[in-house]
Amino acid sequence: MEQNDITIIGAGFAGLACARRAASQGMRTAVLERKPCPGANIRTTGILVKEAADLLNLPSHLSRHISGVRLYSPNGKWIDLSSPGYSFVATDTPGMMRWLMQKAESAGAEVRLSQNVSQFQMEESNVLLPEAGIISRFLVGCDGARSNVARKFGLSSNRDFLMGAEAEYVGIDGLEQDKLHVFLDSKLAPGYIGWIVPGVGISQVGIAVRSPHKPDLRAFEAKIAKLIDFSKAKVIGRRGGLIPCGGVLKHWYTDRVMLLGDAAGMVSPLTAGGIYPSLELGANAGISISHYLQGKISDPVEDILAMVPRYGVKGMMRWSMDHLSPPNALYNLALGNPVFRRIAQVLFFHHRGLFCAQAWKDILHMGNTSADVTG
């Protein structure tokens, strides 16, 4: 049996961020990942909000800055939104995952690939993982939206989901490259949005809907074909998956076991942004758990609790999207409304919502452009 300090299930954003920090604190750390490579079978669009991009500082060949959002109403009209000094980052997502793995390994973590983990036993103050031949002082479940670790240790599980589907294209013409293209349509995307991302060497076309609806990517592509030239376009890959949207779970830790990232529901219920909380809380948990195991603090969760997002306003907005289902006619009207634009501005550019000073500056000094695409 290999004796570890910290064993992490899942080499996604949360798992690799946690491993990197824990290993850099001198902890004997292993990440167990069932895929043959963390960049295989990607499930995310991989857009980084500015805060996540600042945290990572990705090399330029893996990233592409996008300065604003073009927001389309169901009738095809659009407005442009931006915020001074703010940009999103589209990523070569498989490349980014490999880069994150290298960072964790350089810090001293072992990343074991093609290692599915389904069995766990508590043994005094250790967790035993018989399939991997590991005995560990602490276990971290970063195993995604349908966490097995959560189930095995009787922690809370995600129940509310958005379901996303995305196609990777080459050869799409007529796409404004410096914008995230976001489409409101409560018939095609009930509870969420459709999008086109001018990514790194590809364009990503996707849609997500509130379960139990199913995303109809073809119907969405047929709709946007009026705006974008698909005649030379070719699909080279597909992505998709579940996005927890019920907010942070009630029970996400117990003695010597902690959930992080999607496994703990640490995803914005409204915007579905999960990469930043996974990276930020993953890294901080890596430090806190290390300090706990080194006897410097008595509770590994105390420091992290203060950082866990509450998503109060976004949770309420998620409730409204689910229960009031704004009709398309309302979206068409709203796009021309200055109050709606200001709310959209805050949602897109300020992950802390109205708690962010820049959000208020934007609200007070908004200078948008708008245009009618359909003419």
Ligand X SMILES: Cc1cc2nc3c(=O)[nH]c(=O)nc-3n(C[C@H](O)[C@H](O)[C@H](O)COP(=O)(O)OP(=O)(O)OC[C@H]3O[C@@H](n4cnc5c(N)ncnc54)[C@H](O)[C@@H]3O)c2cc1C
Burial degree of 364 (CB within 10 A; 0-12, 13-18, 19+): exposed
Radius of gyration of the chain measured on its C-alpha atoms: 21
Q: Does 300 bind ligand X (CB under 6 A)?
A: no
**Identity of the residue, 48 or 77, whose beta carbon is nearer to ligand X in the bound complex:** 48
* Kind plus residue range of the DSSP H or E element containing 16: helix 13-24
> Positive or negative, the Cα torsion across 55, 267, 285, 149?
negative
Q: Which pair of structure tokens corresponds to residue 234?
A: 């070719």
Q: Nearest-CB residue to ligand X?
A: 274
Q: Does 93 bind ligand X (CB under 6 A)?
A: no
Among 261, 300, 309, 353, binds ligand X (CB under 6 A): 261
**Identity of the residue, 152 or 342, whose beta carbon is nearer to ligand X in the bound complex:** 152
Q: Which of 199, 206, 207 is nearest to 177 (CA)?
A: 199
Among 35, 103, 213, 342, binds ligand X (CB under 6 A): 35
SS3 58: coil
Q: Say how far apart CA 103 and CA 62 lie, in whole Å.
A: 14
φ and ψ at 20, to 5 degrees? -60, -45
Q: Provide the 10 A C-beta neighbour count for residue 333.
A: 14
Q: Does 167 bind ligand X (CB under 6 A)?
A: no
Q: Does 152 bind ligand X (CB under 6 A)?
A: no
The beta strands (E) that lie in the chain are given as 2-9, 29-32, 63-66, 68-72, 78-82, 88-91, 110-112, 121-123, 126-129, 134-141, 161-170, 179-183, 194-198, 203-210, 234-244, 253-254, 257-259, 369-371
242: which residues sit within 8 A by CB, 6+ positions away? 145, 146, 158, 161, 162, 163, 164, 211
| Binding region for ligand X (CB under 6 A) out of 32-40, 185-193, 287-295, 339-347 | 32-40
Q: Which pair of structure tokens corresponds to residue 339?
A: 């109050």
SS3 10: coil
| Binding region for ligand X (CB under 6 A) out of 30-38, 106-114, 249-257, 365-373 | 30-38
- Shortest CB 76 distance to ligand X, Å: 24
Q: Does 243 bind ligand X (CB under 6 A)?
A: yes
Q: Which pair of structure tokens corresponds to residue 238?
A: 């597909």
**Identity of the residue, 15 or 300, whose beta carbon is nearer to ligand X in the bound complex:** 15
Q: Does 286 bind ligand X (CB under 6 A)?
A: no
Q: Does 265 bind ligand X (CB under 6 A)?
A: no
Q: Does 32 bind ligand X (CB under 6 A)?
A: yes
Q: Which of residues 99-128 bind ligand X (CB under 6 A)?
A: 116-118
Q: Does 215 bind ligand X (CB under 6 A)?
A: no
**Identity of the residue, 114 or 374, whose beta carbon is nearer to ligand X in the bound complex:** 114
Query: By rule CB under 6 A, what string of x and - marks binding of each residue 37-76 to ligand X?
Result: -x----xxxxx-----------------------------
Q: Does 267 bind ligand X (CB under 6 A)?
A: yes
Q: Does 166 bind ligand X (CB under 6 A)?
A: yes
| Binding region for ligand X (CB under 6 A) out of 76-84, 235-243, 308-316, 332-340 | 235-243
Q: Does 240 bind ligand X (CB under 6 A)?
A: yes
C-beta of residue 79 within 8 angstroms of C-beta of residue 335: yes
**Identity of the residue, 38 or 74, whose beta carbon is nearer to ligand X in the bound complex:** 38
Determine the size of the site formed for ligand X (CB under 6 A): 40
- Shortest CB 10 distance to ligand X, Å: 3
**Identity of the residue, 15 or 77, whose beta carbon is nearer to ligand X in the bound complex:** 15
Binding site for ligand X (CB under 6 A): 9-15, 32-35, 38, 43-47, 116-118, 142-144, 148, 164, 166, 239-241, 243, 261-263, 267, 272-276, 278
